[in-house]
Structure 1
Amino acid sequence: MIVLLSALLCVQTSVSSPVSTAAQAQGFLERYGYLHKQNESHSTAEVKSAIREFQWLSQLPVTGGLDGVTLEKMRSPRCGVQDAGSHGAWGQRVSSIFTGQHLRKKRYAQTGEKWHRRHLTYRIMNWPRNLSPSQVRVAVKTAFQLWSNVSGLIFQELQHGPADIRLAFFEGEHNDGTGNAFDGPGGALAHAFFPFRGEAHFDMSERWTLSSLKGHNLFLVTAHEIGHTLGLVHSPVRHALMSPYYKKMGSNALLSWDDITAVQQLYGKPAGNSVQQLAGRTLRWDMWDWQISQDPKGSSLTPHYCQGFFDAVTMNENGTVLVFQGHRFWMVSNGSVSGPLSLQTRWPQLSLAIEAAAFSPLDRKLYFFKGRRVWRYSGSDLDPGFPMKSRDLGLPNHPDCAFFYQPLERMVIFRGSRYYVLNPESVSVEPYYPRALRDWKGLPRGLNGALARPDGKLYFFKDQQYWRFDPGKLRITANGRWTQRLPWIGCRTAPSLQGNDIL
């Protein structure tokens, strides 16, 4: 099998990832139902057919070869439910639209089942680390509402006792079988079971969010998994919510025509045939309101970011640590925390949910990065000509983190496997950059924060972990959980972890 796949591997990749070799591609195709695991070997025709089927469902050019685009898609965050049966179900669904005939029972759910009641209950069994129960509850309620608005279903939350649909957060192996074990950040984000088991499981190790660009939107993933608990399989339509791959929230309607057709063929239309679509642009701002209303002041003992995640971090000229999360920020001086404070009140015109921030002592200015733009502030005043486009400065879009590097007296920006050096005086990237991140030995990709302490040591952050980098020795000298080991960041107590004994 590996030899056959190797022959189909048209483009090699140097990126270290869960799917980068022929053997790993075989495991992927078997895990998601394109190849049968029980077969010890597969013919060339079987392999090509499996790859073509995967490419078709993933909206890729159907070549039957493992080219670079196909391997990259296999590495993308996705739902852990198998794709088997999606092609046939979609063909039947489209056929019914053109012929005007309703699909017979057992045609859309992979297991051949659907709920035979229109009033279903659900229960949230436990909570992720970095969102409050109230935030999760509202996100889940809205995810169910997304489906009830376009179908004949009604959902009700229960906080105790048995429920039709149960949602829970787990890590690694959680008694669902080795094929359903979670794989840490990225990869399979969640999976669900078709009626009548009625369960949706989410990877606890993911960075779940409702608004930040870093991490994965819990509302969107929950809405997708609810679709499975109702009996829906994956869709090949590019913008469908039931597409197997994670997509960031856009501005338009969240359900495609294929999503709506699928659920209505199982459960009918809503009362009065009144279909109500929810638009991404509306929900995106509603989520900001949820966070403001549910946690307006935070906790005096444990600031909200101490649950393990933030968008960016830096230190100003006074040695005060600034921690950014969503529409808010905190100021930490000698371990004492002030905030949360309003981001746009302090820095007018700054976008919410920034991706990186850094203070430059050379020009005494604060730089913010998000998406394709860069902001520069003198105090609370936006400098003339800003925000600027990242590409005009030679910088990448969506940086991971930024910091001032004293040995070079320059700003350093990390993005993926490369880093850039920015001259604050000319506001341009220095020649011969970007360079490979391997120059910074021991640091992982995808960092979400970095800062330089007064002693010259650099601290890098990714989710709940930190790495201390010594510029003199050019190596990592310490690492661990920052909520527990870095008192100067303002976390007095670490968040408690929840186990897998939920259901």
Structure 2
Amino acid sequence: MAEPRCGVSDEGSQQIWAKRVNIIFTARSSAPMAPWRRRKRSAVRADKWYKRHLAYRIENWPSHLSLGSLRLAVNAAFQLWSNVSGLVFQEAPEGPADIRLAFYEGDHNDGASNAFDGPGGALAHAFLPRRGEAHFDMAERWTLNGHKGHNLFMVMAHEIGHTLGLEHSPVRHALMSPYYRKLGRSLVVSWDDILAVQQLYGKPPGDRPVRLPGEVLHAALQEWEFMDVLNRRQSNGLPLYCQSGLFDAITGDQNGTIAVFRGSVYWTVSADGVVSGPLPLRQSWSDLPVAIEAAAFSPLDAKWFFFKGKRMWRYSGRVLDPGFPKQSVELGLPRHPDCAFYYAPLGHMVLFKGSRYFVLNLQTLLQEPYYPRRLKDWTGVPQGTNGVLSRPDGRLYLFREQQYWRFDPLKVRVTRVGQWAKELSWIGCGEGPQSNNIL
């Protein structure tokens, strides 16, 4: 239940799926049952739309996503269903729309059971045909490129399925599974998704469904986001990570240059505050995946470390070291770490993951004995930080979303909390210093 989950109830899903499978093996018609035999449904729900051309509208969207990129992702999500059915979709920015997509926080007049609960839990929910609405939690960290956060394209495609009348599927890798899946290399819509939508709306013209693999869509989303980065930088001169308050990882080298990573690009901030970028990540470190989850620099040997999923990469400058990438489990490290950084008092690398932290010996590349330990050793440090910087005075700055925590290694606790884009001028966002003190 801790997995990212759709907020729509599973009631009736198993029975509907069983009937669908029965039709496959018995070759019975999928025509509607007689009125006196049909399963009773509530008055606000309907089995399907009784037309094939549907209009949709985006009511609002998170500020860290541009409308241009969001519209492309939404269009692609609707196109998935159009490719395998007899439906046609058209955006209607103004005027009446059959399907409306909106972002909300907390209670938004859908009933207490449908109130959004902030990061984690249910990410979205939708209503079956006639009402035609899909709601998404504004407080979640939405992404279009599959890096840290929840892939809005996949969640959007799932919820659109509900607005078309599809209930949840027990097929593990189906798009309509109650647990949101990640955008991988496999086909986005499964055989069960196709069968479900075609039972309601028939097959596409020509009877030749188009089933796009995830890697094709991933590449398209990556390109859209990269163009978004360039366009938004040109709009006001600030790098995108400053405008949105979001990045995936951050680290600094021996010269005091900071590297900020987001999706397929990164920026550098020199010791005197000059920002360069965005630069393509794989142009500098060619063997990396399209996005990373954690990055760290070791001043001991001037090595760069990158983490994604279950693997770790180590570079000498821009050259991948022999024998890398390595499997994290072989080193005693967790998959999908929150962040990584070199910690001078220990002389080793530290990784945070959830409520625990791990210590990696950089000489042996093995986890130090007696670890992992509980994160509470770092008094005041929250879970889920996505980057750590060590400053010349020895203090650490930990980042999560728009906030930072300053940690004093001598006092072994957090001594200050604030908003990094507004208060830390050395991070490249051009604002003056202000802060909140902690006693």
Q: TM-score, normalised by structure 2?
A: 0.91
The alpha-carbon distance between structure 1 residues 493 and 196, as it changes in their structure 2 partners (threshold 3 A), is farther
Deviation for aligned residue 1:490? 1.9
2:276 corresponds to? 338
Deviation for aligned residue 1:450? 1.4
Distance 2:255 2:189 in 1: 49
The alpha-carbon distance between structure 1 residues 454 and 109, as it changes in their structure 2 partners (threshold 3 A), is farther
Distance 1:235 1:95 in 2: 14
1:134 corresponds to? 68
1:102 aligns with 2:56: no
Identity of aligned residues (%): 61
Number of matched residues? 421
Deviation for aligned residue 1:191? 0.8
Distance 2:163 2:320 in 1: 49
The alpha-carbon distance between structure 1 residues 169 and 258, as it changes in their structure 2 partners (threshold 3 A), is same
Distance 2:210 2:19 in 1: 25
The alpha-carbon distance between structure 1 residues 428 and 200, as it changes in their structure 2 partners (threshold 3 A), is same
1:304 corresponds to? 240
Q: Retained in 2: the 8 A contact 1:89–1:107?
A: no
Alignment RMSD: 2.0
Amino acid at match of 1:80: G
Distance 1:108 1:400 in 2: 47
Distance 2:211 2:169 in 1: 19
Deviation for aligned residue 1:348? 2.4
Per-residue CA deviation, residues 464-500 of structure 1 (Å, 9 max, x unaligned), is 2222111111111122332222222222479xxxxxx
1:292 corresponds to? 226
1:164 aligns with 2:102: no
Matches for 1:5-404 after TM superposition, within 5 Å: 74-99=1-26, 100-104=28-32, 111-296=45-230, 298-299=232-233, 301-306=237-242, 307-333=244-270, 334-404=272-342
Amino acid at match of 2:97: A
Distance 1:213 1:295 in 2: 15
Q: Retained in 1: the 8 A contact 2:146–2:183?
A: no
Distance 2:103 2:429 in 1: 24
Deviation for aligned residue 1:108? 11
1:448 aligns with 2:386: yes
Distance 2:431 2:193 in 1: 44
Per-residue CA deviation, residues 258-290 of structure 1 (Å, 9 max, x unaligned), is 211111111111112121111112211222222
Deviates more, 1:337-346 or 1:107-116: 107-116
Distance 1:492 1:177 in 2: 43
The alpha-carbon distance between structure 1 residues 449 and 212, as it changes in their structure 2 partners (threshold 3 A), is farther
Is there any run of 5+ residues in structure 2 with no aligned partner, and where? Answer: 433-439
Q: Secondary structure of 1:295's match? A: helix
Amino acid at match of 1:304: L
1:405 aligns with 2:343: yes
Per-residue CA deviation, residues 221-257 of structure 1 (Å, 9 max, x unaligned), is 0000001111111111111111111211221111122
The alpha-carbon distance between structure 1 residues 439 and 313, as it changes in their structure 2 partners (threshold 3 A), is same
Q: TM-score, normalised by structure 1?
A: 0.80
Amino acid at match of 1:114: K
Correspondent of 1:483 among 418, 421, 429: 421
Deviation for aligned residue 1:441? 2.2
Runs in 1 of length 4+ with deviation above 4 angstroms? 105-110
Amino acid at match of 1:232: L
Deviation for aligned residue 1:199? 1.0
